[in-house]
A and B are shown apart, each in its own frame.
Chain A
Amino acid sequence: MIYRECGVFKTTYAADMALYRMPLAKIAVAAAAILAAVMVPLVSSDHLLSLANMVGIAAVGAIGLNILTGYTGQISIGHGAFMAVGGYTAAILSARYGMPFWVGLIAGGGMAAGVGTFFGIPSLRIKGLYLAIATLAAQFIIEWAINHITWISGGVQSTIYVPKPSLSGFPLNSELKKYYLIFVVAALSYVFAMNLVRSRVGRAFMAIRDRDIAAEIIGVNIFGYKLLAFAISSFYAGVAGALFTYYLEIANYEQFNITVSVQYLAMIIIGGLGSILGSIFGAAFITLLPILLRWAVEGVWGWFAAPTSAMLDVLANLRLIVFGGLVIFFLILEPDGLYRLWGHIKNYFRVWPFAY
C-alpha cells in the first residue's frame, strides 16, 4: 500500500479530481482523523484539551479568512468583528430565546455572512490596501453597534451569559464534550473548504485573485463571486465566533477586537496564503506558540531561581521578542508559509533516499 506515483496514469476525471490521490495520503488523513477523534481525548487532560479546543476554533476562522484573502485575494481586517456578529447572534438566540446551540451556530454563521457581504460591497470598486481600510471600518462600526445598541448588548456591560450547549438533552459541559463539538465543526469546515476550492466556484475565486480583469473577460461574474467569497468567509467567521461563545459560555465584545482580526491575518500568512491545511497550521502556530514559549522559558528559568516580579517582567517581554523573532524567521525561511515548508518535507521523503 505504501507506494508512490511514478507518472500520471489517471483514466477518469474523478480520479484526477480526487482530494487525496495517493493511498498513503488517504491512510494518513484517516489516521489523523482517528487520532484526533479517539486517541487525543483519551490520553489528554483538560489542560491539553483546552489548547486543542482553542486551536480548533481558530482553525475554523482562519480557513474562512483564507478563502477570502488567500484564494480570492480580498484583504479583510474586519474578521474579528464578523466573529463578534456570529458570537452575539448565537448568544442572543440561546440566552433569550432558548434555542439549541446548533441553531445558534448556523444562525450565527448566516448573520455574519449577511453582514460580511454588506461590508464586502466596497470590494467591487476598491482593492488592496484601500479595501483593507474599508473592512477596518467594518470592525469599528460593528464594535460600536454591539456596544451602543442595547438590544444587542443586553445592557451597558455588553456581555451575555450563554447557557451550556446541549445536544437533545445531553449537556456538553466538559472540555472533552466541547472538544468533540469543536472537532466535528472544524472537520466539516475543513472538508467543505477543501471541496470548495477545487470546484468551479473555487477556480473562479482563484481567477479573480490572479487577475480580475482576465477573469472577467473569460466570463467569471466578478460581482457575484467577490460577494460570495465575502459571504462564505464571513460565514466561517460567524461559526467560529459562535463556537467561541459556546465554548466560553459568554459573549463579550472584547474577545473579538481589532487585535483578533490582525491575529487571524497573521495565522493565514504564516500558515500559507491559499492553502486550507496551511490555515490550520497557522492557527495552531499563533495560538500555541506563546504558550509553548512560556513553558520553555519558565522551564529553563525555573531551574535557576524562583520567579520574582522583576524576572516575570523580563520573561513576559522576552516571550514577545522571541515570538516576533520566530514569526520573522519562519517567513524568511519560507515566505509561502508553513504549508509550503510541510510540502518540502513531503517532497523530500517522496523520492527518498534519492535527491531528485
Chain B
Amino acid sequence: MKQPWPRMSRMALLLVAMWVVLAARAVAADKEPIVLGGVCDRTGPTQLVGVNLCHGVLDYIKLVNKKGGVLGHPIKYVEIEHGYEVPRAVEAYETLKGQGAVAMLDYGTPIVYALTPRHAADQLSGITPGFGRADSSDGKRFPYIFPLAASYWSQGAAALKFILEQWQQTGRQAKDLKLAYVFYDNPAGREPIPTLERLAKLEGFQLRSFAVPPPGLEMSAAALDIARRYRADWVLTHLFGRSPSVSIKELNKVGFPLDKVLGLVWGAAEVDIDAAGWDISQGYLGMQFAGVGQDFPSIQEIIRMYQAEGQALPEALQKVSVYYNRGVFTAALMVEAVRLALEKSGEPVTGPKVKLGFESIKDFTLGGLVPPMAVTEADHEGGGWVRIYQVKGKQWVPVTEWFTGYRDIVWELIKAAAAKGE
C-alpha cells in the first residue's frame, strides 16, 4: 500500500501547480479580455513589410495592456501567420472567429479579397490598411470592411493635387504638365489609373502610363523613355517590393530630378531608400498614410516600455519606422474602436458594436501619427488623408501637413463601382 501514495501526491502537486498557474492568469484580468485578431505575412513574398508592420501591432497592444487595457478590459491579440496563401488565411480567419475576435487585421490583398464575404456574413470587422480594393471605402456596400488608410484612388487623387500645386507654384498652367505614371503591372498597380485618367480630363494635363512587368527589376528602358523621349515634368510611381529602389536608381541614372518623383505608399519606406542608397535618393518624395519617425507620444511610450524592461529596442522601430508605425496605426485604431464600442454600447463587446465604434472614430490623431480622419457609416476610409515626406539627409522629413485631394471625383468613382456591382 505504500507504493501508490508518492505517485498520487506527485499528481496532486502537479494539479495544484496547474491550478495556481491558471488562477494567476485569471486574477491578472479583472474584467473579461477582449479578443482582437490579426493575420500576417512573415515568410511570404511581402514578409519584409509584414515582420515590421505586425511588430508594431503587437507592441502597441502590449503597451495598452501595460496601461490597464481598454476601460479595464485587457486586450488579447492573436496573430496568425499565413505566408500570403489564401487557404491558410481562411483557416486563420476561422480560428480567430472561433476564439471570439471582435475585429481583425487582414494583411495582404488576395487575403482581403478572400475574406471580404466572410466578414459581412459573420458581422466581424476587418481592417485592411493599404490592402484590398479602393471601392471598399464604401461602407454601405462593404459594411464590415474598414480600409481606414487612404485607398489607391485617394492616393492617386491626393498625389495629383500635390503635384499640380507644386507645378502651378512655378507659374505654369496645369495643361502644360506632362505626367508619367510608372506602375507595377498587377491589379494593385493599375488601380489608380481610372482616377488619374479622370483627373487628366478634368485638369487638362498630359498623362502617360508606363507599366513595369513583375518582378519590376528592369526599368532602364522605361526611365530613359520617361526622361528623354516623353520628357516628363513629374513622375508618379506606384511600385512594390524591390522595384521602388530600382526606379529611384534608374531615374537618377538618366538624370531625372528626384524631387519631381513621388512614390505612393508602398514605395516610400526606409528599406527602399536603403536599397537604392541614401546619397543618391536625396529629394525623392514619398506618400504616407501614417506618421513616420519616433517623434510621437505613443512611439515614445513604447520606447520607454522597452527601456523599463531593460530590453534593446527592436530594429523595426528604429530602422523601419514607416512600416512599424503603420502597425501602431492599425492597432491604435482597432483599440480605439473597441473603446468607443464600450463607451457607446456597453458590454459585452460584439462585432456589430465594434463596427459602430469604428464608425465613430473622429479626431483620434495619436499626436500626429494618425491623420485627422473621420470615419462614418458611408465612408470607411475616414476621408482619405495622406502626407508627403521627402528624403533629406538620413531620414524621411514631412513636406506637407495631412491633406486630401479631389474627394468628389474619388466618390464619383466609388459610386460608379457600386452601381456596376462586381
Binding site for B on A (CB under 8 A): 45-47, 50-51, 54, 58, 95-96, 147, 153-161, 164, 173, 175, 248-250, 252-255, 259, 287, 290-291, 294, 307-310, 312-313, 315-317, 319-320
Contact = CB atoms under 8 A, between A and B. Distances in A.
Contacts of A96: 422
Contact of B110 (A155, A252, A307, A312): A252
Interface in B1-55: 40, 42-43, 51, 54-55
B181 to A, nearest CB: 13
Interface of B: 40, 42-43, 51, 54-55, 58-59, 79-81, 83, 85-88, 90-91, 94-95, 97-98, 109-110, 113-114, 116-117, 121, 133-134, 185-187, 190-191, 193-194, 314, 316, 417, 420-422
Determine the main DSSP class of A at the interface with B.
helix
A227 B68 CA distance: 67
Contacts of B134: 157
A308 B117 CA distance: 31
A164 B117 CA distance: 9
B129 to A, nearest CB: 17
A50 B417 CA distance: 30
B133 A287 contact: no
A54 B82 CA distance: 15
A47 B97 contact: yes
B43 A294 contact: no
A319 B82 CA distance: 11
B83 A290 contact: yes
A145 B362 CA distance: 43
Question: 7 closest A-B pairs (Cβ-Cβ)?
Answer: A254-B110, A249-B117, A309-B55, A316-B42, A156-B190, A47-B94, A158-B187
A153 B94 CA distance: 28
Given A316-B81, A320-B43, A248 B59 contact: no
Contacts of B40: 312
Contact of B113 (A153, A250, A291): A250
Given A250-B117, A313-B51, A47 B98 contact: yes
B387 to A, nearest CB: 25
B379 to A, nearest CB: 19
Contacts of B417: 155
A156 B193 contact: yes
Contacts of B109: 254
B191 A156 contact: yes
B88 A250 contact: no
A159 B42 contact: no
Contacts of B79: 307, 312
Contacts of B116: 161, 250
A155 B422 CA distance: 9
A200 B109 CA distance: 46
Contacts of B91: 47, 50-51, 54, 291
A2 to B, nearest CB: 37
A95 B95 contact: no
Given A46-B94, A160-B422, A248-B117, A309 B54 contact: yes
Contacts of A155: 417, 420, 422
Contacts of B88: 290-291
B51 A309 contact: yes
Nearest to A309: B55
A309 B191 contact: no
B96 to A, nearest CB: 9
A156 B81 contact: no
Nearest to A92: B422
Nearest to A303: B21
Nearest to A315: B81
A153, A249, A290, A309: most-surrounded residue (chain B CB, <10 A)? A309
B40, B81, B98, B109: most-surrounded residue (chain A CB, <10 A)? B81
B58 A308 contact: yes
Contacts of B121: 173
Contacts of A316: 42-43, 81, 83
27 contacts: A46-B94, A46-B97, A47-B91, A50-B91, A51-B91, A96-B422, A147-B185, A147-B187, A153-B187, A155-B417, A155-B420, A156-B187, A157-B134, A160-B422, A161-B422, A248-B117, A254-B86, A255-B110, A290-B88, A309-B59, A312-B40, A312-B58, A313-B42, A315-B81, A316-B83, A319-B43, A319-B81
Nearest to A96: B422
A254 B87 CA distance: 12
B372 to A, nearest CB: 28
A319 B114 CA distance: 23
